[in-house]
Amino acid sequence: MPRFEVLVEVTLRPGIADPQGATIERSLPLLGVTGVSGVRVGKAIRLSVDAPDEDGARDVVDDLCARFLTNPVIEDATVSVAATARS
């Protein structure tokens, strides 16, 4: 069965406070950096998924995101499946 490399990006939902992002953004002037805003911190989770096809891999990971990898109260997930499978 082919193996798909999957990247899950977990981000805080809009409107949810992000104290890490805010702290990073406040520190930018100390580095002499201006013009950078909207800093938000999330998580990147990489997985290898054995599935018959790309849709099958995506289904497995979508289910994992809903039940485990995110807390839907505060987080969203974006799933990217590598276009070419490694067999």
Partner 1 sequence: MAATVGIVVFPGSNCEHDVAEAVERLGASARLVFHKDESLGPVDAVVLPGGFAHGDALRPGAIARFSPVMGAVERFAADGGPVVGICNGFQVLTEAGLLPGALQKNRGLAFLCREVELLTANDTSALTAGVAVGTRLRVPINHFEGSYTAHAEVLARIEDCGQVVLRYAENPNGSVGDIAGVCNEPGNVVGLMPHPERASHDLLGSEDGNVLLGALLSCCGRSQPC
- The residue among 19 and 32 lying less far from partner 1, judged by its C-beta, is 19
Instruction: List the structure tokens of 82.
Output: 């590598």
Q: Cα(24)–Cα(43) distance, rounded to whole angstroms?
A: 15
Query: Residue 8, CB half-sphere, CA atoms under 13 Å: how many?
Result: 22
- The residue among 49 and 65 lying less far from partner 1, judged by its C-beta, is 65
Determine which residue in the list 8, 65, 69, 81 makes contact with partner 1, applying CB under 8 A: 69
Name the one residue in this structure whose structure tokens are 């839907």: 72
| Sheet strand arrangement including 3-12 | 43-50, 3-12, 75-81
Q: Which of residues 24-53 bind partner 1 (CB under 8 A)?
A: none
Determine which residue in the list 34, 35, 46, 68 makes contact with partner 1, applying CB under 8 A: 68
> Which spans of this chain sit near partner 1 (rule: CB under 8 A)?
16-17, 19-20, 23, 68-69, 71, 73-74
